[in-house]
Amino acid sequence: MLTAGTVEVDPSRVAAQIVSGIGFLGAGLIITRQGAVHGLTTAAAIWECAAIGMAAAAGLVKLAIIVTILHFVIILAFNPLSRHLTGRLAGSVRLRVTYDSASGVLSRILAACDKHQWSLSVLGSAPDRGVLLTLGGSGIRNAPNTIACVAGVTGVRRLDDSRD
């Protein structure tokens, strides 16, 4: 109840509005593109920033500082480790491969993939005498160089250089 000259502040209502707004922004960042989800890390970072800001505003400055330091430790330590492990263990890569019109080039490309035990999940045609490949498996980072060495291949371009 309000009396003349006083204002009641309800921190839980403020926090609820922040949660609603950040949820809306985070959902807008998360997109799906050809079966792959992108933006989860960015959405999580926005949630984390909101939580740090709310903790600082609530007077929990030490907690906000500790969480901020932990964030940077995790990002700086685990991000390179994750990239290293993903490249060595398993992953996927999307490639646009162009080749001469000579017969048998596509079968040699597929044989090279089979030799390295890469799984082919998508095979599509490109308008410039080429194919779109989505490959998965271990050691997939070497796929562009390996396919570029196949006789008759004129170009290989990686389509998904960004990871999230």
Q: What is the pLDDT of residue 162?
A: 43
Q: What whole-number distance in Å separates Cα of residue 123 and Cα of residue 113?
A: 12
Q: What whole-number distance in Å separates Cα of residue 101 and Cα of residue 95?
A: 18
**Hey, what amino acid is at 48?**
E
CATH ID of 92-158, from 3.40.640.10, 3.40.50.300, 3.30.1490.20, 3.30.70.260:
3.30.70.260
Q: What is the pLDDT of residue 90?
A: 58
Q: What whole-number distance in Å separates Cα of residue 25 and Cα of residue 44?
A: 11
Q: What is the pLDDT of residue 149?
A: 86
- Degrees to nearest 5, angle at CA 15 with 9 and 18: 125
Rounded to 5 degrees, what are φ and ψ at 17?
A: -70, -35
Q: What whole-number distance in Å separates Cα of residue 101 and Cα of residue 105?
A: 8
pTM over 0.85, yes/no: no
60-88 in b/e form (b: 16+ CB < 10 A) is eeeebeebeeeeeeeeeeeeeeeeeeeee
Q: What is the pLDDT of residue 86?
A: 57
Q: What whole-number distance in Å separates Cα of residue 153 and Cα of residue 156?
A: 8
Answer whether 38's CB lies under 8 Å from 30's CB.
Answer: yes
Neighbours of 130 (CB within 10 A): 20
Spell out the per-residue pLDDT of the chain, length 164, in tens. 556 677 777 888 888 999 899 989 888 888 876 667 778 888 889 999 999 999 999 999 999 999 999 999 988 888 777 766 655 545 778 888 888 777 778 888 888 888 888 887 777 776 667 788 888 877 777 888 888 888 888 888 887 644 43
DSSP type of residue 59: T
